[in-house]
Structure 1
Amino acid sequence: MTLPPAPARPRPALAPAEGASPLFVGSVAKCFRVLEALNTAGRAVGLTELAQMARLDRSAVQRITHTLRVLGYLRQDAASKAFRLSGRMLEFGHTVLATDQLRERAQPHLEALNRRTSETVNLMELEGDEIVYVARYPSVHAVSVDLHVGSRLPAFCTAAGRAILSRMEPADALARLKAARRTAMTPRTVTDLAGLRHALERAREQGYALNDQEAFIGDVSIAAALVDPHGHPLGAVNIAVPTPRWQLADVLARLVPPLLKTAAAITREVKYL
């Protein structure tokens, strides 16, 4: 059994100051809107549809796709003329992962936690108002959420996001929550600031954050933050389990202790990063 895949995340809006800066290059931004549209589509897309998806005029998209195809970052079907991302895009993702020191130091500990629990173990980092999966070790069981390295989810309603936010200065964390788009992902998603502030306070006190079906129905997650020597969060370790096999009380009793032990071990490893 596979739970529904993660919904595609829309491109985050630019802060007014970013778009108005004289350093901002609009043509580069348009290029990435085309790439992001193709990435979201996950299939070959024709020029007219791609222009609609990227919210750009057709002539601009035609110039951008031609340039990217010549450079080797897009492929174009000879018959349909539709575009898709090329394998050359993989080079960027590989470099990001290969140079992530947190991921490198955490890997053996994450693998050990995965073997010990037989459940899905993830390493996440915060980018803006989203968390990004930078390492993922799937459960040996058949029930899982269809996510992968590079997937992004809102920080406010995920265990990893809350774990990271809970280790920030409370005023900073609250400012991030206020600025974020807090759209409910399930009927159980907490979106109000009072409820989220309470969730962060509990995570700060307990040392871990909980997500009980707020991101996906049928998915319970716990996460603990990884911090530098000054206590600033670097990322979070997460264990995700399905409700058909796990009761919440069992998650807290059986999975929280190894999660906290793993987070502490990784934190010791990364103190000199």
Structure 2
Amino acid sequence: MRETDFIGGFAKGLRVIEAFGEVRPRLTITDVSAQTGLDRAAARRCLLTLAELGYAAYDGKFFELTPKILRLGHAYLSATPLPRLVQPYLDQLCERIGQSASASVLDGAEIVYVARAAQKRIMSINLTAGSRLPAYCASMGRVLLAALPEAEARAIIEASDRKANTPFTRTEPDALVDELSRVRRQGYALIDQELEIGLRSIAVPLVNARGRVVAALNIGAPAAHAAADDMVECYLPAMREVQASLRQVLA
């Protein structure tokens, strides 16, 4: 891209939007400046512009995003056929095995949920379409990282904020790269309480008709319901069936 094609003001606005999150729902100008690296004047202009356009609310001190911001994410979900194609398969899989089923795509160092079917809540956070999780410690993240060239996957891992969510979380880049190699060989990833205590999950890549990995599918289950070794025997065959069926319909 040519330098003249880059709109700096637009980029700053996006950085400001991304400063908000689950743990930062309300921010001051100073907060946004610190989060984005923008000076206070630029952060203020971006925030006031968002408020003027209805994407943020301002009470004189704090800014918070409004529901209108959902239009931006909905544009992606509406434009891509992936959620519409996979949702019926997730619903059937969830009903068949009695556990939550999800699909996600890779976005930098995170996975983004594009579809989900859940009979019950199994995590402390409520996962829906648009939810994000770090790729390095999520089963879907690992199969999506494993689909990348090793050097690219390592670069993403090394750039990630790798925190130990539990005593079982793997954070060392070399150990994670070795795990990705195993995921490539076996064709699935198994996470045993690395993301959250009491949660196990298993994931497979979703491959399109041209053989390209376009998403990941996972099953999440409470640790009390299934031992780690049982996850493969209990859930992988049904997931393989969904994987094969979706290969015929994914572009």
Q: Where on the TM-score scale, by shorter chain, does this alignment land: which range?
A: 0.7 to 0.9
SS in structure 2 at match of 1:116: helix
Give the partner amino acid of 2:137: C
- Cα contact 1:125–1:236 (8 A) shared by 2: yes
Q: What is residue 213 of structure 1 aligned with on the other side?
A: 193
Aligned counterpart for 2:12 among listed residues 22, 30, 51: 30
- Cα contact 1:167–1:231 (8 A) shared by 2: no
What is the alpha-carbon root mean square deviation over aligned residues? 2.5
- Alignment of 1:241 onto 2:241: no
Aligned residues: 250
Q: What is residue 251 of structure 1 aligned with on the other side?
A: 231
Q: What is residue 266 of structure 1 aligned with on the other side?
A: 246
- Alignment of 1:62 onto 2:44: yes
Q: What is residue 8 of structure 1 aligned with on the other side?
A: none
Q: What is residue 43 of structure 1 aligned with on the other side?
A: 25
Percent pairwise identity:
36
TM-score, normalised on structure 2? 0.87
Q: What is residue 127 of structure 1 aligned with on the other side?
A: 107
| Unpaired segments ≥5 residues, structure 2 | none
- Matched residues in 2 for 1:176 and 1:51: separation? 25
Given the superposition, is the C-alpha separation of residues 188 and 24 from structure 1 closer, same or farther in structure 2, using an over 3 Å criterion? Answer: farther
Given the superposition, is the C-alpha separation of residues 194 and 22 from structure 1 closer, same or farther in structure 2, using an over 3 Å criterion? Answer: same
Given the superposition, is the C-alpha separation of residues 63 and 237 from structure 1 closer, same or farther in structure 2, using an over 3 Å criterion? Answer: same
- Matched residues in 2 for 1:109 and 1:188: separation? 31
- Matched residues in 2 for 1:268 and 1:43: separation? 41
User: Superposed, which structure 2 residues align to 1:1-273 within 5 Å?
Assistant: 23-77=5-59, 80-140=60-120, 143-146=122-125, 147-270=127-250, 273=251
1:260: how far off? 1.5
- Matched residues in 1 for 2:28 and 2:171: separation? 37
Given the superposition, is the C-alpha separation of residues 125 and 67 from structure 1 closer, same or farther in structure 2, using an over 3 Å criterion? Answer: same
1:37: how far off? 2.2
Give the partner amino acid of 2:85: R
Q: Which has the higher contact order (CA 8 A, sep 6+)?
A: 1
Given the superposition, is the C-alpha separation of residues 178 and 70 from structure 1 closer, same or farther in structure 2, using an over 3 Å criterion? Answer: closer
- Matched residues in 2 for 1:54 and 1:180: separation? 17
Given the superposition, is the C-alpha separation of residues 61 and 185 from structure 1 closer, same or farther in structure 2, using an over 3 Å criterion? Answer: same
* Deviations 1:103-155, CA, capped at 9 Å, x for gaps: 22111111101111221111010112221111121233x54341232222222
- Cα contact 1:144–1:241 (8 A) shared by 2: no
- Cα contact 2:123–2:196 (8 A) shared by 1: no
1:55: how far off? 3.9
- Matched residues in 2 for 1:54 and 1:192: separation? 27
- Matched residues in 1 for 2:36 and 2:144: separation? 32
| Unpaired segments ≥5 residues, structure 1 | 1-17
SS in structure 2 at match of 1:126: strand
- Matched residues in 1 for 2:130 and 2:14: separation? 16
- Matched residues in 2 for 1:44 and 1:23: separation? 32
TM-score, normalised on structure 1? 0.80
